[in-house]
Chains A and B, each alone.
Chain A
């Protein structure tokens, strides 16, 4: 058996606050192959963002380990770039400079200046944001900000791109546009991507596999669904596709039948 690309091995996570300990994640095991697109879906508060932060290295594990190409992940690094939910662009920098900050840090030594510039513009063009290079984040729309956030993540040439509810704050039309963009990028570059989402359609449309999480506390991986849909996928073709409908139904049933979100009283 070959070594897995990313291995999440018996990960537990509990937060301690004074004497009280809250167990958020319990015994998470997951293996992700190179080039795979995996979505993690679950009700809010189930710890899916915590899981992403653990993979990113932003949150330490309580037990278990995350292994990327057989090396343990202990701290954040550009080989696991994160596209944050609220874009997290630095408002005092232009679009170009936001991406440049990442590119100069990651490739400052390995690439000459002109090459870095080309690489920044290449990534901005990839998300169709080359035209707005001199704008500041406050001057562009939410969808455009998220595009730049994706460009910044891609520009680090990460082994894994982690997307934390990247389209959560966007309207439906903008979201569809960005989903298409991410699919194109995934098809063109073959990146390994892990996306947190709470949108069933989004998960089915984009993913090779959907990881469904049970409700917290002590959330586990409930089921993993293989989405056997041909790529490239087209939104309109899928509407009546049987596999698509079945996958969608499986996720919906998991979320709303077996693991209904119980509002804390």
Chain B
């Protein structure tokens, strides 16, 4: 430990004064006003055309090239693997030969059973639209009930937790017995498949409404209906849309299976029919269609969700 003596203090105060003196002596030197050079930005149009195209093109390329390369590699591998004389599955080249009309003309119409895959997909989509639409409306309402009321949750939640594990197709015989027709049965299977994630996510979303929003509603004396539309639905919207997105994926899974059993015009029945007449190439083309449409459905619901929940997700 150092001992500070009086001398030290005096010295340091002297130094401090000296510094101060110097500071007062200091002249204020006016800095030469820096002449800012005005750099004129060349307008965007002046850029060379190639550069502009590239700046727009690069991100597209960056996102498009990797999946294309992957697909090309898969096709190549598949071609090699399935080309042997013993191979039980057709290689891509053979599919192209055999099922070219299915790929290039999705919307041809040559009689009630000889129609393009596009039409079949539309028929399936129609069933999904009805079944999923019902599931969305009923699911949000039931989910709201469970989320709001402790007793409704205690009563219904265990039942729902068991019912939701029942595979979609297990409902089919029952619904065929109840509706005595394949069309409503298929729609019911979609409905019962899609409704559980909607109910459960809505309930979670509503249970997670911040107490602050409930307080605001209470101070304003919002009634039940106003509370539902003005607080509950917007606040739970991110959760609801997660449920809807899972639900639409599940319904698309279920429709194909249901149609295989109920028959009719849909894409599921097409696959079953192709299998019965050993048209493997047609089946593979149909699988690609199903995958692409499922992907689009998923993105569609996600996009609607992103628009509707704009602002909500931020806080």
Given contacts A76-B219, A77-B219, A138-B311, contact A105 B212 (CB under 8 A): no
Q: Which residues of A contact B (CB under 8 A)?
A: 56-58, 75-78, 80-82, 84, 86, 88, 90-93, 101-102, 105-106, 136-138, 156
14 additional contacts (CB under 8 A) given A78-B221, A88-B215, A91-B312: A56-B219, A75-B218, A76-B215, A78-B219, A81-B219, A84-B216, A88-B216, A90-B230, A91-B311, A92-B234, A92-B237, A92-B309, A92-B311, A105-B221
Partner of B222, one of A58, A92, A105: A105
Given contacts A76-B219, A76-B221, A90-B234, contact A84 B312 (CB under 8 A): no
Main secondary structure on chain B at its contact with chain A?
helix
Instruction: For the complex, give the distance between the alpha carbons of A102 and B218 in Å.
Output: 11
Would you call B212 and A91 a contact (CB within 8 A)? no
Instruction: For the complex, give the distance between the alpha carbons of A255 and B212 in Å.
Output: 29
Q: Name A82's closest neighbour in chain B (CB-CB).
A: B219
Partner of A78, one of B215, B220, B311: B220
In this assembly, does B315 line the interface, its C-beta being within 8 Å of a C-beta of chain A?
yes
Bitwise interface map of B from 244 to 272 toward A, beta carbon under 8 Å scored 1, else 0: 00000000000000000000000000000
Would you call B315 and A77 a contact (CB within 8 A)? no
- How far in angstroms is the closest Cβ of chain A from B314? 4
Q: Name A97's closest neighbour in chain B (CB-CB).
A: B230
Given contacts A77-B219, A77-B221, A78-B220, contact A88 B315 (CB under 8 A): no
Given contacts A90-B213, A101-B230, A105-B226, contact A80 B311 (CB under 8 A): no
5 A-B Cβ contacts within 8 A?
A57-B218, A58-B218, A91-B311, A92-B309, A138-B315
Q: Name A136's closest neighbour in chain B (CB-CB).
A: B311
- How far in angstroms is the closest Cβ of chain B from A111? 16
Main secondary structure on chain A at its contact with chain B?
loop
Bitwise interface map of B from 207 to 235 toward A, beta carbon under 8 Å scored 1, else 0: 00010110110111110001000110011
Q: Name B314's closest neighbour in chain A (CB-CB).
A: A138
Which of A76, A81, A92 has its CB near the most chain B CB atoms (within 10 A)? A92
Instruction: For the complex, give the distance between the alpha carbons of A157 and B215 in Å.
Output: 18
Partner of A84, one of B215, B222, B314: B215
Given contacts A92-B234, A92-B311, contact A86 B212 (CB under 8 A): yes
Instruction: For the complex, give the distance between the alpha carbons of A91 and B234 in Å.
Output: 9
Would you call A58 and B220 a contact (CB within 8 A)? no
Partner of B212, one of A56, A81, A84: A84
The interface residues of chain B lying within 8 Å CB-to-CB of A91 are: 311-312, 314-315
Chain B contact-residue range equals 20 to 34
The interface residues of chain A lying within 8 Å CB-to-CB of B213 are: 88, 90
Instruction: For the complex, give the distance between the alpha carbons of A35 and B279 in Å.
Output: 86
Instruction: For the complex, give the distance between the alpha carbons of A76 and B216 in Å.
Output: 9
The interface residues of chain A lying within 8 Å CB-to-CB of B309 are: 92
The interface residues of chain A lying within 8 Å CB-to-CB of B212 are: 84, 86, 88
The interface residues of chain A lying within 8 Å CB-to-CB of B230 are: 90, 101
Instruction: For the complex, give the distance between the alpha carbons of A57 and B218 in Å.
Output: 9
- How far in angstroms is the closest Cβ of chain B from A91? 4
Partner of A82, one of B215, B235, B315: B215
Instruction: For the complex, give the distance between the alpha carbons of A77 and B216 in Å.
Output: 10
Would you call B315 and A137 a contact (CB within 8 A)? yes
Q: Name A81's closest neighbour in chain B (CB-CB).
A: B219
Instruction: For the complex, give the distance between the alpha carbons of A229 and B213 in Å.
Output: 37
Instruction: For the complex, give the distance between the alpha carbons of A11 and B42 in Å.
Output: 73
- How far in angstroms is the closest Cβ of chain B from A67? 19
The interface residues of chain B lying within 8 Å CB-to-CB of A86 are: 212
Q: Name B231's closest neighbour in chain A (CB-CB).
A: A90
Instruction: For the complex, give the distance between the alpha carbons of A58 and B221 in Å.
Output: 11
- How far in angstroms is the closest Cβ of chain B from A173? 24
The interface residues of chain B lying within 8 Å CB-to-CB of A58 are: 215, 218-219
Instruction: For the complex, give the distance between the alpha carbons of A93 and B216 in Å.
Output: 14
Which of A76, A82, A91 has its CB near the most chain B CB atoms (within 10 A)? A91
- How far in angstroms is the closest Cβ of chain B from A11? 19
Q: Name B312's closest neighbour in chain A (CB-CB).
A: A92
Instruction: For the complex, give the distance between the alpha carbons of A56 and B211 in Å.
Output: 15
Instruction: For the complex, give the distance between the alpha carbons of A80 and B219 in Å.
Output: 8
Q: Which 8 interchain pairs have the tightest Cβ spacing?
A: A88-B212, A138-B314, A76-B218, A91-B315, A92-B234, A92-B312, A92-B311, A76-B219
Instruction: For the complex, give the distance between the alpha carbons of A84 and B314 in Å.
Output: 19
Instruction: For the complex, give the distance between the alpha carbons of A78 and B222 in Å.
Output: 10
The interface residues of chain A lying within 8 Å CB-to-CB of B311 are: 91-93, 136, 138
Instruction: For the complex, give the distance between the alpha carbons of A81 and B218 in Å.
Output: 10
The interface residues of chain A lying within 8 Å CB-to-CB of B231 are: 90
The interface residues of chain B lying within 8 Å CB-to-CB of A138 are: 311, 314-315
Q: Name B230's closest neighbour in chain A (CB-CB).
A: A101
Q: Name A87's closest neighbour in chain B (CB-CB).
A: B212
The interface residues of chain B lying within 8 Å CB-to-CB of A106 are: 220
The interface residues of chain B lying within 8 Å CB-to-CB of A77 are: 219, 221
Instruction: For the complex, give the distance between the alpha carbons of A77 and B212 in Å.
Output: 15
Bitwise interface map of B from 28 to 64 toward A, beta carbon under 8 Å scored 1, else 0: 0000000000000000000000000000000000000
The interface residues of chain B lying within 8 Å CB-to-CB of A137 are: 315
Q: Name A162's closest neighbour in chain B (CB-CB).
A: B219
The interface residues of chain A lying within 8 Å CB-to-CB of B235 are: 90, 92
Instruction: For the complex, give the distance between the alpha carbons of A68 and B237 in Å.
Output: 38
